[in-house]
Structure 1
Amino acid sequence: MQPTRLTRGKAAAEEASAAQRLRTQLGAMVDVRESKDAEEPILGPGVRAAILGWLAEIHAAADLAAVGVKPRSTALLYGPPGCGKTTLAHHLAARLGVPLVIVQAEQLVESSLGGTGRKVAELFDGLAKVGAPCVVLMDEIDAIGSERSNDDQACAREMNAALTTLLQKIEAFGGRLIAATNRHDKLDKALWRRFGLQIDVALPGDDERWAILKRYGLPFDFDDDTIDGLAEITRGAAPSLLRQTMEGIKRTLVLGERLRLPVDDPAAVLRIVIEHARPHPDYQAPPLWADTSLARTFAPEAWPPARQG
C-alpha cells in the first residue's frame, strides 16, 4: 500500500517529535538531522548494493526471523575524507523515516580520569532513555576506537577503558548504529567485529564523478562535453572537492560582471576556482591540481553555460 498524504504527514510529525526529544535529552553532544533535510547520495555500484541489501534485510525482519537470522544493526563506513559518509548515513536514516543522530567521537574524549568512558555511557544511556527510533552515526570513531595499547601510562589505560565501555555499549544497543572513519586500519579488532557490515566508501569512479559534477552544476546547463572535460581532469577527486569546484564555477559566473572577472574564458574561470579550492595536502592531488596548467586545456565550445529557469 502506497503511503497517503495523511500517513506521510503523520510519519513526519512523529519523526520531528522524536528528533526534538533526542535534542532535549542529548543536548550539545549530538547533531540531530531529520529526513526532510537528507540528500540522495551518488553511490558507486558496490556501496549502492550494500545499502540496498541492508534496507532489504531491515524490511524483511519477519522472514529472516523464520530462519533464525536477524537484520544487521551496525555498519562501519570507511574511506577517504569528503566521500559522503555522513550524507550516506543521513540518506539511510531518511529511507527508514527516522532521525539521524550524529556524534563526533572526538568530542566524547575527556581529559579527566574515567571521563571518556562516562561520556560514552551517557550517550548510550540517553539514547535508551528517549527510546525513539533513530540511526546513530559515530563519526571519526577512531578517536575512541583505535587499537588498544600495551603502554602502562595513564593516558593509554584511560583510552583502553573507554574502548571497553564503547564495546559493551554497542553490544547492548538495541538500535541501528553506523560508525565512520578515515582510518579504518587503526581500529581495534574487537571494535571491527562489532559491525555487521564494513563498507568501503571509496573515491567516486568515472560515472559517479560525472554525475556529481552535473548535479552541482545546476541550475546552469553544462552540456555533456563540458562535464566530460571536467570529469577527465578531476580524476581522483573526492565528492566534496567536486562540489566545491562546481560551486566555485557557479559563484564566478554569477559574480563575474560585478567583480570584473573573465567569465567568457572557461580556462580563466577554472584557474580562479582552483586557486582557492584545493585537496587536502595529505592526499594525492587529482590531475587538475597536480598540474594547474591543465586548466588551459579546458575549452568547451558551449560557454558560458545557460542558466535554467
Structure 2
Amino acid sequence: MFAISGGSTKLSDFGEILHPEQASEPILAKAVRSALLEWLTEIWAAEDLLAVDLKPRKRALFHGAPGTGKTTLAHHLAARLGLPLLLVRPERIQAQYMGASAQAIGRLFDAVRAAPEPIFLFFDEFDSLAATRLTGASTAALDHNHTINTLLANFDAFDGFVVAATNMGSGLDPAIWRRFEIQIELALPGDHERQRIIERYMAPFVLPKASLAALSRAMETASPALMRSFAENIKRQIVVGPKAGWVMNRDAVISRVIETVKPHPDLGLPRLWSVGVADHAVSQFPWPLEKDIAAYPAERAPVAGGEIVPLNRRGS
C-alpha cells in the first residue's frame, strides 16, 4: 500500500481510495459474469491484441437500478487487476462557480497521471456530472456543457482504466455514452443469485434449504443492497434486542426490520414488504436462528400418496 498523491493535489481530495485487499467478490447474474470475464480475458491478452492492431478496452459504464452492486463490481474488477480504485464522489467535482467543475476534472486526471502507480478510476453517480448537454446560453447551460467537453477531452487523453456507474443511463450525454467502449447493465438478481446473497449476509447463521428458497421468492424484486440490509438488521436485532428489552419472537423481529429497512421507491415493493409477517416466507423462517444446519429439525416434505417423509439433510 502506498501514499497516493499527485503533486500538490491528493487523490483523496476527490473521493475514497479502495485497495485490492478490501474488495469482496460480487454475486453476479450469468450475463454480467460472462461480460466481466470477457473483458478481463481481453485485458490479459493485450500483446495478442496488439498483433492485430487492437488494444484492450479500458472504459466501461455500469448502469442499472439502485443498489445492484455497481460499486462492488468495479472494486472487484480493480482488485482482479491488482489496482487501487479511486471512488470519485460527484460532490468533490461539482462547484457553484463558473468553470470550477471543469477545473476540478482537469486536476483529477492530472493527479491520477502523477500517481506513483496506476489507478483504477471509478465515477459514482455519474449522471449527476455527465447529464445531457443543455441548450441555450444561460450561465448554467454554458458551465455544464463546458464540464461535459472537459470530461470528453480528458477521457480521450487518458490511457488508464475508467468505469462509471449510473442509475439513469438514458440521462447521460450521448457523446459521453459513446466514450465508454463497454456498457453493462446490472439488472436485479434472479433466484439463484438472491439465495447466494441472503446466505452470504446471514452468515454466520444458516437457513435450511426450504426456508432460504421461500425467502428468496418473497424478495423477488429486491436489490442486493436491500437483501443485505435485511439480513444484517436481523443479526443486529438478535444482538441488540435482548439488551434493549424488545420482544424477540420471530414475527416481532421481522416486523421491526421491514418497518425500518425499505426498498428504493423506483423498484416497487417486494412481496415480503407488501404482505409483511403474514407472508409464507415468514412462517418458513426458522427461529431462533442457528449457526449449524444440523441444529435444525429435519425438513419434511410430502411424497406420493400423502405420506410425509424427512428430506435428506445433505445439501440443505
Q: In the alignment, which residue of structure 2 is the partner of 1:123?
A: 108
- Residue 257 of structure 1: CA displacement? 2.8
Check whether the contact 1:106–1:141 (CA below 8 A) recurs between aligned residues: no
Q: Which of 230, 251, 254 lines up with 2:215 in the alignment?
A: 230
Q: In the alignment, which residue of structure 2 is the partner of 1:97?
A: 82
Check whether the contact 1:147–1:187 (CA below 8 A) recurs between aligned residues: yes
Using structure 2 for the length normalisation, give the TM-score: 0.87
- Residue 283 of structure 1: CA displacement? 3.0
Q: Which of 258, 261, 273 lines up with 1:289 in the alignment?
A: 273
Determine the C-alpha separation between the residues in 2 that align with 1:67 and 1:165: 31
Determine the C-alpha separation between the residues in 1 that align with 2:162 and 2:137: 31
Check whether the contact 1:274–1:289 (CA below 8 A) recurs between aligned residues: yes
Identity of aligned residues (%): 40
Structure 2 counterpart of 1:60, one-letter code:
A
Deviation per CA, 1:252-278: give whole Å up to 9, x if none: 222343334443x43332112101000
Q: In the alignment, which residue of structure 1 is the partner of 2:56?
A: 71
Q: Which has the higher helix share?
A: 1
- Residue 301 of structure 1: CA displacement? 6.8
- Residue 284 of structure 1: CA displacement? 1.2
1:35 aligns with 2:14: no
Determine the C-alpha separation between the residues in 1 that align with 2:120 and 2:267: 30
Q: How many corresponding residue pairs?
A: 292
Q: In the alignment, which residue of structure 2 is the partner of 1:247?
A: 232
Bigger-Rg structure (1/2): 2
1:220 aligns with 2:195: no
- Residue 104 of structure 1: CA displacement? 1.4
Q: In the alignment, which residue of structure 2 is the partner of 1:279?
A: 263
Determine the C-alpha separation between the residues in 2 that align with 1:232 and 1:187: 34
Distance 1:137 1:36, change over 3 A: same
Distance 1:295 1:273, change over 3 A: farther
Deviation per CA, 1:125-163: give whole Å up to 9, x if none: 111122521211011111121111112211011000110
Unaligned runs of 5+ in 2: 293-316
Determine the C-alpha separation between the residues in 1 that align with 2:279 and 2:233: 14
* 1:137 alignment partner, SS class: strand
Distance 1:301 1:97, change over 3 A: closer
Using structure 1 for the length normalisation, give the TM-score: 0.89
Check whether the contact 1:267–1:297 (CA below 8 A) recurs between aligned residues: no
Check whether the contact 1:266–1:300 (CA below 8 A) recurs between aligned residues: no
* 1:180 alignment partner, SS class: strand
